[in-house]
Each structure stands twice: as structure tokens, then as C-alpha cells.
Structure 1
Amino acid sequence: MKRLLICLAAALVCIHAKAQTKKRQLIYGMYLQWGYNAEAYTRSNIHFKLSNGDNFVLHHAKAHDKGDYDDIIKEPGQISIPQYNYRIGFYLNRDLTKGFELNFDHAKYVVTDGQKVHVTGTIGGQHVDGDSVLNPETFLHFEHTDGANWLHLNYFEQKTLAENKAKTRALLTLIYKAGAGINIPRTDFTYHGDRLNNDFHIAGYNIGVEGGLRFYMLKRFFFETTGKTGYVRYIDALANTTTAKGNRATHGIGYLEGIATLGYQFSW
């Protein structure tokens, strides 16, 4: 995923350079960001269709995130273990107030063990329509913790709220974004004690809006804090992979996300 974003960024820089040779400027600058996030999720109806013939729905299942922020203290070199974000942005005007960004959110989604959910469908050849407690040994466990992984393209604008004394650069801006993209999760699924750690694959789509503040500590360095909300749909979270052949999991979730990132920008 990181290589994909780097390749896309390089391609866009090349497009900019080519445009410059033709005396036509398309991109006026770019920025890079890295940071971390926290989520809250809506309840979800999760539909499982398994290769053994079981076909059932968990109704209104609740889930939580899994920050793992303490892993940075335990293993300082493992900065990508917690829920992280990175962005590559490109400015479309000389004032550096409008542009687009490639946005990757490595969020984590865990269906909460021990909860009682209503289950309908067919399990073991028998029709079911009742409540069951989620447990990985006796029933199931389901999570996207090697990433719910939302990759999308955002359009953004920012408005200056405060400038330096010389009024030569912004110190504080209001930034807002909207975009859509694809989900590339790795889903961890345990059913009656048997664990299946899925492969990464394109599994659905997402849409989202985001807004917050950007603080320019220096001319090129900034800190950004934003709130984000949107909808994510997993069409086939277990499909078309070597480790999950014949299985399928489908569900949709709404989310609220808090994000904090550090960034570096430059213009030309």
C-alpha cells in the first residue's frame, strides 16, 4: 500500500514537470503527512456465507477500534502497528488553499466478543432465529485489525484564520475535505475455534467528509487535527483469496474518526 501511494505521488510529480516544460502549471506544491487515529462505529448487520453451507446474519452487532498506541513505547521502530494515517497532497493554486490528496486510513475494526446478538439464517443445516453470544470458541470472532484500510481520494480547501505579523504566511487554517475510495482490508475471522487470517484484497468502497484545523509551527511544518465521518461498505471481506476460498462476509458501517498528523509541505 505504501509503495502504491509513493508510485502515484511520483507519477503526479512527473505530470507536473512535463506540464511545466509546456509553460502550463498544474500543481503548485505538495505535502506529506503521518499520524494516528481513533474510531467509534455504528452497529452493523454482518452477513456470512461460508463454504460449508452456513449462511446467516448477525443483527446490530457492535464493534470497537483497537488503538495499540502503547506499542510505540514498547517498540519505537514499529510506528505502523497502531491505527495510523498517511496522506500525500497536491495544491492546485498558487495560494495553496485548494487541492487533492491521496488518503490512507489504517483503522481497526473489532466486533466485540461476549455480546449477545440476534442471529437469523442457516447454521449446520438448521434454520436459526434467536440470540447468541459471540465467542471465538463456541461461535465466532470477526475483525479487520490488520487494517480496515480505507484508501481514497479527497478534494480539500483551507481558509486562513490567523497569519504571522508580516502577513507573509498562514499560522492557523480551517481545512475541510470530502472524498471516496476503496477498502483493502485483511480480515481475521474465527469460526467455532478455527481461525482464518484473510489476505489483503479490494473488498468494497467508502465515502467520507473531514474538517479541522491546521497549525503551521514553521513555514513548511504543520500539525493537523481533524474529525471525520463517513460510510464504509465491505462487499466481500472474505472472498477471492487463497485462505478464504468460498467464504464471504458482507457488511456496512458508519464511523466517527479523530485524527492527528504531522506534515511537511513545499511549493514551487
Structure 2
Amino acid sequence: MMAADLEVNGVSWAPTKSGQPVLHPTTFSVAAERVLGVVGPNGAGKSTLLRLLYRFQQPKTGHVRVDGQDIWSMSARDAARRIAAVLQEQASAFGLTVREIVRLGRTPHRSGFAASGAGDEKVVERVLDTLSLHPLAHRDFGTLSGGERQRVMVARALAQEPQVLILDEPTNHLDVRHQLEVVSLIRSLGLTIVVSLHDLNVAAGVCDDVLVLKDGHSQGFGPPQTLLTNALVSNTFRVDARREHLAPSGASHFSFTLPN
């Protein structure tokens, strides 16, 4: 898998041609192997933006390019070879095993109804090994814990051998240990990653850059250390935010209170 540059130029989206935009024109870029966090309150447009990035919805305006090529100028199959997504909603596995779920990620690389070949199985084995899923390979997906399921869905995405990986709230509904596991995994993949997160402290710790959205408008884009000021965070989330620097590591942590 080779990571790619992701360029997003002026993308917007509305439910109808004449409807009010859910996402207003937004521009940013993510260099290969960097991690971009998308943050903002509920209804900010985070999931809408991600749907444009993994070609589920076509932008009303603007372009999404992977290594300079517009994703809507390629076939859906070719786009799926370049971009993979892990969503919050996990469909029923219908009794499939972990290995069978991961094998589904090879679909964009097969022709028609062709069965998996030796090359596909090598990729599946490598991904199972990368995510330490071999002990679970024959387990029914429905019997797994939330954290285990999230790892399997990431594995399925990696089996697509994408250049860009989109993650929609990957730590949502996970306990602290599994949140830490997912965060560690994100940093280790070596892909170009766009991840929506609801926890600013997680975003600041795992992301190279952050895009802040509010009411479908970009509030800023840049490194979290400089972009996430008390004023911007307070205004975006309608709280009183205070950034505290922790000794001796020097790491920072946001605390929040309701405004008077």
C-alpha cells in the first residue's frame, strides 16, 4: 500500500440542487502518510464531508483528488482501490467469520463473481497478522466485543489496499482501553488518513492537522498545537475551554465548563 496526497478544493453539499448547504465550500489538503482529524459539534457537517471523500455522495461544488486525479473521473471500482472507509454503522455480518469479513475487502480487486485467488489470500493473511486478528479469524463476527469489531472493520478496509483511509468516529462507544488501541493503530498504519473525532484531546494527540467545522463552515485548518486555541474551541463548541499543559511531559489537555 502506497499512501497518496489528498486534495479537497471547494467541496460543498446540499440535499437538493436548490437546498440549503449542509456543508459550505471547504478546502484543505493532506500529504501522504499524514493524519487529518475532523472535529466539531454534532451537526457540524463532519459525516457529510467524509461521505464526499469516500465517494458516497458527489460534491455540489468542488473536487476531491487523490494524487491529482478527481475521484469522480474514475470508476467506483477504481475509487475503492484507492479509498477505503470505516463507518460508525456496522451492518449485520449474517454469520460470517472474521476472515470472511476481511476477505470482503478484496472485492474491488476481483472481476465479476470471481473467487478469491492466492494473491487475495496473501493480502488477507498479511492484514490479519498486522492487526493481530489470527486468534479471532474463525470467530463469528457477531460474537466479538466492540473493540474487536472495530479492528476487524479496519482490517477489511486495509484489505482493499487503499492509499487513503477514512474513519468516521472510530473510538465512538468504545471503552478507554479500546479507544487507546484504535488510536495507536491509526498512527501505525502509514496511510493517508482522515478521521472524524468527537474528543479534542484524542485529536490533538493523534492528528498531524485538524479541520474544525461548525454549522457546515470551516473554522480553521492546521496543526492542533496552534489551531486549537481556547477562543476557537470555546466558540465552536459553545463552552468555556481551557488548555492546560501537563508536566513533565509538556503535553496539553483541554478542560471544559459551561459558560455562565
Q: TM-score range by the shorter chain?
A: under 0.3
The answer to which structure has the higher strand fraction is 1
- Give the structure with higher Rg (CA): 1
Normalised to the residue count of structure 1, the TM-score between the two structures is 0.20
Normalised to the residue count of structure 2, the TM-score between the two structures is 0.21
The answer to which structure has the higher helix fraction is 2
